[in-house]
Structure 1
Amino acid sequence: MSTTVQGTAGEDRSDYTRDENRAIRKRSLRLLGSLLRPLRGQVILVAVVVVLQTALRVVGPALLGFGISVALPAVLERGDWGPAWFITTTYAVTAVSNASMLAWYDVLAAKVTQNVLLDLRTRVFRHTQLLSLEFHESYTSGRIISRQTSDLDTIRELLGGGLNQLVHGVLFGVFTFIALALWDWQSALVLVVAGIPLAMLMRWFYKASQVTYRTSRVVSAKVIVKFVETMTGIRAGKAFRTEPRNEEEFSGLALDYRDVNMRSIRLFGTFEPGLMAISAFSIGIVVLWGGIRITQGELAVGFLLTAVLYVRNFFMPLQEIAMFLNSFQNASAALEKVSGVLEEQPTVPDPAKPVALEAARGAVRFEEVTFAYGTGKVILPRFTLDIPAGQTVALVGTTGAGKSTLAKLVSRFYDPSQGRVTLDGVDLRDLASRDLRRSIVMVTQEAYLFSGTVADNIALGRPDATMDEIVAAARAVGADAFIQSLPDGYSTDVNKRGGRVSAGQRQLISFARAFLANPAVLILDEATASLDIPSEKMIQGALQTLLADRTAIIIAHRLSTVAIADRVLVMEHGQVIEDDSPEALIAGTGKFAQLHAAWRESLV
């Protein structure tokens, strides 16, 4: 059985096999180690401080025992205050030192935690940006947001508080047991016997909470995904009155989340009383046996007090350790999800030895290209096409014919399953990423605008462009007039996702963005679909300006846009069934002539 577990593959599962669990744990520990390795100096200092602080904390009960059994009799019997002052001073010094070391530890631990989170948060953002389009089309935005928010917050809680509880709990328990064994081995033997049911209880709690918290992270991600998708698609939801169904589905997920949290609470509700029962039983045995030895003159009262305090102190951090296990299971599940995302590899990797192409001419060629999305059906079977530099080609065909797939291959959003796509004779897989992005630009129907000014959005592909160049690009595509009419002109904030401007205006801004980028190959994927007929006619001139002196691939259902092309390709089932100039195809009797005739009739 394979032990490779990808983040997306197991994203919504909680029933992993043993091999998968082992692989996930290794993956998570590998990630944690890589985060802590650059901070090993700080981590060592934290470890030294916590050891010293814990050792000082363990001294207290011994000083109390000496005070009652040695210093107090010295005062009462001989009037000697020397031992009392020594023990009191020592106790005060250890208490102050303990508090100071604890404060220092808290600062150091917080610094390590924040540095780890900074590194992890940056890694997730950088890695998800580098992943190929295939990942983002299958991995929902809600799940990505869950990785960056709730999962990282859970890891922060573990590193900031839970790890503190574990380190203090384990060290304090170990130091306390050692001190008790040195102080009174018979009382320490009671703890050894109590360790048998204690180990069984801890093992049960760890195993049960592991399953519960993994389920909790899965359900939590589903709640976030549902909320994000509902809010993102709120317009569609209101248009189709899906509020009742959305509420029902969200309520079901929220109910599942409540139930899994209740299971974790019940687990801790069983564990804590069990721990208290073992602790009470152990203290009772120590007190009983110690009382018998006091009556026989084998043990002083002060020493019995010290033994009882050590036994009680031994069990106190176990509750902290249980709280850590509580946080640890939650954070482990979160770390699994985050490490799963970071384990994802781009399906469109950068070339090992990139080929430079400083000034591309724009000649595009498909050579025996076969392509399928994942394990789905083949979209392009052995596809061959030659587009000379400077030619404008329009792709026409029914939905699913392969037009957008062709555009994604030219943009290298995907790589061919077989064959190759070249730019000026260079395989796109060998082309340097910087040259590829500069040479090929796609304008989509969505025309996404980022928060910021109009000028910032136009300069997206050339952030070093001057304002004069930005304005010239806008004028070239006919966008300058409406931009100047905005409240602050080019400095107007377009608001979230460009909500301050209309769909047509967003498209004009995207045209200006493409014009300023000045690519050798420009792809328009339904770029005029969001425009009404008058707006489309208005920007025909802008399109001709935009497409001049460069290779262009136009995907359009509106045949008015196709008229500006030098060549029309009619596609069907991943093959070109017609290939000629618009005029020649219209004059014929083929598929394009039928589509054109139907379009003319629709205008009438």
Structure 2
Amino acid sequence: MSTTDEEQWRGVAAEDVEELDAIVGARLQRRSRVLLGSLVRPRLGTGLFALLLVIAENALTLAGPVLIAVAIDTGIPNALDGDTAALAWCVGGYLGSGLGAAALRFAFLKVSGRFGQDVLLDLRRRVFDHAQRLSLSFHEKYTSGKVISRLTSDIDSLHDLLEDGLDGLLTAVLSVFGIAVVLLVLDPPLGLLVLAGLIPVLWVTRWFYLRSRHAYRGTRGAIAKIIVQFVETMNGMRAVQAFRREPRNERILAGLNDEFRRANKTALDVMATFTMTVRLVGNLSLALVLVIGAVRVVNGGLELGVLTAFMLYLRRFYDPLDELAMFANSYTSAIAALEKISGVLEERPTVVDPESPVALPAAGTGRAVTFAGVEFRYSPAGPVVLPEFDLTIPAGQTVALVGATGAGKSTLAKLVARFYDPPVGTVALDGVDLRAVADAELRRAVVTVTQENFLFAGSVADNIGLGRPSASRAEIEAAARAVGADEFIRALPDGYDTDVRKRGGRLSAGQRQMVAFARAFLADPAVLVLDEATSSLDVPTERAVQRALESVLADRTALIIAHRLSTVLIADRVLVVEGGRVVEDGSPEELIAHPSGGRFAALHRTWLESLA
């Protein structure tokens, strides 16, 4: 269920929940069918070819019992009289139909397999690409574990449907209809008796579909919670082991496993009831046909070969109904999975690329940043973070933001980087509203370095090169030297070619931060945002970075958020933010020397005392 769907439940009276569940359920199914149709439609030709192959295969398979009946009633008696032609034709035809059916089965599996894999690859690509395009606000509320669940277990459910379910469905439907026609032709009274048994089968099939649909929604939600728990635990393994959280994690996972077990038990109970009913009806029909047919054979009203063929067909008539059950099982599981996947695909970015972008004016190394009447909150029902905020940062100025946690400093950085759009007011670069700037141009103009810097598995050079993919090796190394990272990089086992491993785990926190700095400097942005970017550096490294910052930030617009005043003091201007408002504004020297004192002066005194 997407965020939009979940919001429909809020404020709903208990007596209306069932009705709302039905409405939402119908909407989810419709959305899932639309998604499935969009995946199948481009490959309709391949699907129809697979259908023709399975029709031909079933036609050859249905010929077998007829040939056996002819052999019993005509071929064998003629052979006893010395004429073996009819029996030879029956035997040859049976072998030929068997070989032809096998060849067609081989071709069908190849074609249907390619069809299924194409659908799955398309869906996996859609989900991955769409998730990358969604705004930061989506990823902050929708955990990575849920996205992984969509790309793994949910797509696996669709894989089961396409690989086995469709094959079973086509074979079962063609067999049931084909055999029904043959039974009516062989003996209408017995054929009608068999078809009467379909009435309870159709009823229980409808019951099975309705019940299993709800059951499999529960299994998809339960397995997603388990994957989320796994991902969260593995990502936080250091904290888990440091604070001995293993027992609590085990209790949480045990509870989630129990929820998954109950959901699966419900689904299996429904499946077992359906299968039992179908087999019961099939066995009763088989017994009735055998008794009635035997009486008619004894009385001369039915030939033995016809009864034999009828029994063979009847066995094949009810066996495919089990295949229909398996298909219904796979289908309801896949539809439940598609409901989850389509919910992700239905999400829309809250920060969108403009249809008619406006180019930023030509400028030097820096650009002016302007906040005009900005009001911002992270959700419509959330608290106001910035109440009517106004600020102008001239091009080339380095501004430091200080203040207590939650004052709104990081929010300002996110707005400048356009991770969010303010619902009221504008954030502009050189007078151009960020909403009018093409995303690619904005990412070249504004680069953010955060405290939680992220490195990808690969070499140090590759991670620095993300700042500008076209950069040469010499430019990458120059960027590293500019921030003082060259020395420690060359000391690594393979220098710039050293694999930093997952999340940069081979490097220390300070080293990862230095690589992130080099990446940002290589990008050569007009506006550089440093959000607690020096918090992971030790004192000697921080001093080296500050020396590099003084030269790299020259004539470049910079926004520095830091609690360390040693970093703040290199700024041209300091803004003290409180409750989303600027309460002090001036150079570091002016604010420190303020005659009546102030918040920044108090922070500075506290910092000096901490150094004593």
TM-score, length-normalised on structure 1?
0.96
Question: 2-side partners of 1:27 and 1:359: how far apart?
Answer: 46
Match of 1:25 in 2: 29
Task: Give 1:11 deviation, angstroms.
Answer: 11
1:112-123 mapped onto 2 (5 Å cutoff): 112-123=115-126
Number of residue pairs aligned between Structure 1 and Structure 2:
599
Question: 2-side partners of 1:41 and 1:263: how far apart?
Answer: 38
* Amino acid corresponding to residue 60 of structure 1 in structure 2: G
Could you say if the C-alpha distance between residues 74 and 55 of structure 1 is closer, same or farther in structure 2, counting changes exceeding 3 Å? same
Contact 2:180 2:195 in 1 (8 A): no
Could you say if the C-alpha distance between residues 33 and 359 of structure 1 is closer, same or farther in structure 2, counting changes exceeding 3 Å? farther
2:371 equivalent to 1:366: yes
Task: Give 1:546 deviation, angstroms.
Answer: 2.8
1:32-431 mapped onto 2 (5 Å cutoff): 32-76=36-80, 78-357=81-360, 359-360=362-363, 361-375=366-380, 376-431=382-437
Match of 1:541 in 2: 547
Could you say if the C-alpha distance between residues 585 and 231 of structure 1 is closer, same or farther in structure 2, counting changes exceeding 3 Å? same
Question: 2-side partners of 1:101 and 1:286: how far apart?
Answer: 32
Question: 2-side partners of 1:359 and 1:450: how far apart?
Answer: 33
How far does the alpha carbon of each residue in 1:498-551 deviate from its partner, in whole angstroms, 9 at most, with x for none?
111111111111111111100000000000111223321232112223322210
* Amino acid corresponding to residue 593 of structure 1 in structure 2: A
**What SS is found at the alignment partner of 1:539?**
helix
How far does the alpha carbon of each residue in 1:65-104 deviate from its partner, in whole angstroms, 9 at most, with x for none?
111112222223x322111111111111111110100010
Task: Give 1:192 deviation, angstroms.
Answer: 2.4
2:571 equivalent to 1:565: yes
Moved more, 581-590 or 305-314: 305-314
Question: 1-side partners of 2:549 and 2:74: how far apart?
Answer: 98
Task: Give 1:289 deviation, angstroms.
Answer: 2.0
Task: Give 1:272 deviation, angstroms.
Answer: 2.1
How far does the alpha carbon of each residue in 1:213-233 deviate from its partner, in whole angstroms, 9 at most, with x for none?
110111111111111101110
Contact 2:2 2:340 in 1 (8 A): no
Contact 1:364 1:387 in 2 (8 A): yes
Contact 1:422 1:428 in 2 (8 A): yes
Match of 1:439 in 2: 445
Task: Give 1:34 deviation, angstroms.
Answer: 1.4
**What SS is found at the alignment partner of 1:17?**
helix
Match of 1:483 in 2: 489
Moved more, 253-262 or 11-20: 11-20
Consecutive unaligned residues in structure 1, runs of 5 or more: none
**What SS is found at the alignment partner of 2:197?**
helix
Task: Give 1:359 deviation, angstroms.
Answer: 4.5
Match of 2:608 in 1: 600
* Amino acid corresponding to residue 435 of structure 1 in structure 2: E
Contact 1:25 1:336 in 2 (8 A): yes
* Amino acid corresponding to residue 20 of structure 1 in structure 2: V
**What SS is found at the alignment partner of 1:347?**
coil
* Amino acid corresponding to residue 18 of structure 1 in structure 2: A
Question: 2-side partners of 1:8 and 1:130: how far apart?
Answer: 18
Moved more, 548-557 or 535-544: 535-544
Question: 2-side partners of 1:370 and 1:358: how far apart?
Answer: 26
Contact 2:479 2:522 in 1 (8 A): yes
Question: 1-side partners of 2:514 and 2:294: how far apart?
Answer: 90
How far does the alpha carbon of each residue in 1:284-324 deviate from its partner, in whole angstroms, 9 at most, with x for none?
12122222322332210110111122222111001011111
Contact 1:7 1:337 in 2 (8 A): no
Choose from 471, 475, 497 the match for 2:477: 471
Percent identity for Structure 1 against Structure 2: 52
Question: 2-side partners of 1:6 and 1:496: how far apart?
Answer: 30
**What SS is found at the alignment partner of 1:94?**
helix
Question: 2-side partners of 1:133 and 1:157: how far apart?
Answer: 33
* Amino acid corresponding to residue 185 of structure 1 in structure 2: P
**What SS is found at the alignment partner of 2:385?**
strand
Task: Give 1:10 deviation, angstroms.
Answer: 4.4
Task: Give 1:357 deviation, angstroms.
Answer: 2.7
Contact 1:569 1:577 in 2 (8 A): yes
* Amino acid corresponding to residue 29 of structure 1 in structure 2: R
Contact 1:8 1:341 in 2 (8 A): no
Task: Give 1:463 deviation, angstroms.
Answer: 1.1
Could you say if the C-alpha distance between residues 82 and 10 of structure 1 is closer, same or farther in structure 2, counting changes exceeding 3 Å? farther
Match of 2:590 in 1: 584
Consecutive unaligned residues in structure 2, runs of 5 or more: 10-16
Contact 2:372 2:426 in 1 (8 A): yes
* Amino acid corresponding to residue 281 of structure 1 in structure 2: L
